[in-house]
Chains A and B, each alone.
Chain A
Amino acid sequence: MSTFEPVLTRNTRRPDSEKIATYLANGGYQATRMALKMQPDEIIEMVKRSGLRGRGGAGFPAGVKWGFMPKDAPQKIVAVNTDEGEPGTFKDREIVERDPHSVIEGVIIAAYAVGANRAYVYIRGEFFLGVKRWIKAIADAYEHGFLGKDILGSGFNLDMSVHRGAGAYICGEETAMLESLEGKPGNPRLKPPYPAQTGLFGLPTLVHNIETLACIPHIIERGAEWFAGIGTAESKGPKIFSVSGHVNRPGNYELPLGVSLREIIYEHAGGIRNGRALKAVIPGGASTPMLPADQIDVPMAFETLKAIGSELGTGAVIVMDESTCMVQAARRLTKFFAHESCGQCTPCRLGSTRLYEILDRIERGQGKKGDLELLLETVQGIDGTTFCPMGAALVNPARSAIRHFRDEFESHLANKRCPVNGR
């Protein structure tokens, strides 16, 4: 097993890791001190050079995003997306609950770089403990002069507050999150304008996933080159992989991008439970296309997963062994998306439910001739026609399951029962 010195999770396993005293005792807020002595543009350049890409799923280059923020706007905002709702993903929860200060540092530095004086942290409603710890962490940061007026004598001001989500996966989509922050239903907004032009309360807003921001203090402290030295050609830095399903040691594993899926499953997560054989893996959370067992040598990086028709997503690895019915897996994931559709656009609102209904009847042995074709037609109809990226995401379980396990669907249809578990 290769060893990798944890960066993002270096604090999270300590006792009382969420407390500011623990954080400070382990070198916390040094990056903030360094950054506030730099020129904002220097920081943006540094982040660009680091090759950091967004960890929320889309993988957009962070430095480029910072560069989109208008220089002359009098009021700007940083919004932190911690609405971790992608099934299989629980990396944010660890940071939220156990290392809030590293993210606060990341936010301070980002806000300073783009000239924002207000930051909002949107935390998934279910993370009740995380919300409580963040409220405390922000209060402590104010007390120590890391937030508020004239931070560390730099003349830079930043206010921060926590907003608790209330149960809506779609609020992980950045504009839906902004709507939710504004106290509205989380319906995604029309783009353009992008948040960097018109974001929260109509102000230019930099939106980042929490893990992305957690990388920032380390880039400042150790340098862009250090960060860019980790990973692959197009995917730089450390990454937390959430591993769940049929493995012996489910959990979060921080590893360099580019690590193979095989290594994650068999070395870090302890291999498949009960000595069973691997059947399929979802590499990046529920919305990423699943891979069959023979593709697990793929390096976990944006470009390599894309090349084989999947995505890095949030890096949430869901492992399924030979006892898993793939129709059932697709059905279950699709039910999730149907439940989470905001209902704004037709293909997602109705299409997600119809997709689920077809999978459901196939799974229950009530499928009809032509249902497989209808499934593919529905996938085709939803993909690329919806208001927001949810449409492209919600068809992936069904589409990838059919792509790799078509015979299981056909068997369900022909024999009216499951070829895997006999039910």
Chain B
Amino acid sequence: MNFIDNPRKIRGFEKHVRVEKVSRRSILKGLGITGGFVLAAPVMSRQALAYETGAGKMPHGVVVDPRVFVSVAPDGIVTIVGHRSEMGTGVRTSLPLIVAEEMEADWSRVKVQQAHGDEVKFGNQDTDGSRSTRHYLMPMRQIGASARTMLEQAAAKRWGVPATEVKTVNHEVVHSASGRKLGFGELAADAAKESVPSIEGLKLKDPKDFRYLGKGQVGIVDLHDITTGKARYGADVRLPGMKYAVIARPPVTGGKLVSFDPEAALKVPGVEKVMKVQGWPWPSKFQPLGGVAVIARNTGAAIKGRDALKLVWDDGPNGKYDSVAYRKELEEASRKPGLVLRKEGDADAALKGADKVIVGEYYIPHLAHVSMEPPVAVADVKGDKADIWAPVQSPGGTRDDVAKTLGIPEGNVTVNVTLLGGGFGRKSKCDFALEAALLSKELGAPVKVQWTREDDIRNGFLHTVSAERIEAGLDKSGKVIAWRHRSVAPSIASTFAAGTVHQAPFEIGMGLVDMPFEIANISCENPEAAAHTRIGWFRSVSNIPRAFAVQSMVSEIAQATGRDQKETLLALIGSPRIVKPEVKDLWNYGEPQDSYPIDTARLRKVVELVAEKGEWGRQVPKGHGLGIAVHRSFVSYIATIVEVAVDDKGKLTVPRVDTAIDCGTYVNPERIASQIEGAAIMGLSLAKYGEISFKDGKVQQKNFDDFQVVRMDDSPVVTNVYIVPPGPDTPPSGVGEPGVPPFAPALINAIFAATGKRIRSLPIGKQLEA
């Protein structure tokens, strides 16, 4: 017996909400591409919350029903559903842990069950935007408290005592007055019959009684399986009779197959079939690019068969895409006025009248996600039913897209979410699952589509390429009186709508128009840029180029005025206050400004904390240097100090990294530390090596030899993480992404301190040599 009887019955308060441009999928509505996307989303009662989040505005909103998320078996084992995708952040542990906390369940008697993609049942499942803890801390507490209340009601009835006299302690309900106790298992059947309590009446635990939340002593649920090879990723799914496929896709975005010769491929031992894969014209969101699939009895044969294919492509409109020429275009555009997005005072006049103007032009190329598990999916399509197994960040969106692509009802599609071998935004696009579905339908057999690393690098949804130009005007005293920031980059929206030339609100809100400095004259502009390849979300998104530009400029101002980097930074941040940029429809990561304002007191605090703990200003050996940077993203505040060492040959090493994060109320500090440690590696990777470039429309890199990432021998020797203790009602904020943006500028500022060389173009590559 368990609590799951009719999960559709209770959805809390329902009301229609306007879908805003806050998620991967709702962007479609915002851009006017699909119609009829009105959602009935349950919205939590305001009274029950100490703060409001944007959770209710996500597609399908939030479901707060213990019968959907919790079941109790007669042996007392509590099963808690994890409805978000696990890609390394620890969310599959953290959210169920919150439920267990409120429920007073003993974690050693809890099992976690992964939800399949069903947003009507579970609420929004898009695991992106550093949203999971932010949106689900309170709902998971409410679910746990509801389950506990139902167990208590059942026990009170059995004993014939008022429910107020019983309480739950560590997997048992107890009646202290009589000394009676009942275990969760003994109460399961009766508790399932209890009505679900209203959210308003729920009694949440006093945080001082927390056993798990905020403690960080619980390992991730998959730890043992991961270390023994039993953990099942998308790539590990095997079905009886399953075929293995790899696909040759157009080498240029928007290209098409002209002809192919399968003969040599079919001679490869193990190859069974060669077939065309349906493609969609560019841009078409996440729909497959099309091409030719080689079907074989194992992946190795399929790869060998694909190598033997003879293919003729029409490269289409992007066949001339060339990164060297495109960079010039972007930089020239950044030197001319663009669409003004934020205007305060008169930046033009103030720059003209300034005693000194510092100009910084910063460039960051395209980047590829290269999650260790390349895209992969298994599909079994039979008639009008489709079963999918895939490492997707968007189980609900994948279900929608598979249904639409196959032309079958959504209810006939089951998306089984496996573990993700890394995501970083790549796996929020389900193109690989759609390919598997199309092939399975045509073959009439289960199929696994495996992307090779070369496919991943050449046919992905890349991080944009940016030219960021900042002009800072200083008065005689060295105070910054004018700030003009022009950001030029092809938008993610170009993957959804042809002809897109301006960045979307969710991109300009990432470090451009939300710039927090106390400056009288500000102009933030966005000149036009057209895309020539598929652009997608990459961990931290536009915050990467913006933090790099803004925080490099801070160091350039410090240099020009002969002041300390940290003091210059604090002077620019200015007084503790709430920043309210004069921007129409200011995007705030989908969160209400009331709960998540731009708070410079918190920004200052992380700078001061990291400076204290990271010993800013300490003596470092010759050839070493310290750099600092701070950035607010995903409504969290993060500051980083990097120590570099550059030897006389220009070899760069990183002896130490210190990072302070204020992510509000938090669940698992141990996983926060791991995210920040990893963010330093990803930040170092992109700064040192990260570059995807195009020539004749084609990506020039192919694998980890020419698209390098940091390895252990050049990773930071030590990364220290400091978490700001939250105030009593501080809402939770993002952790997965905010760690990356400040890293590159802190590194670059440290390199300047060590060598006097100012790097404005990433990657660093060979710039420090000679």
Tell me if chain B binds chain A.
Answer: no
A residues within 8 Å of B by Cβ? none
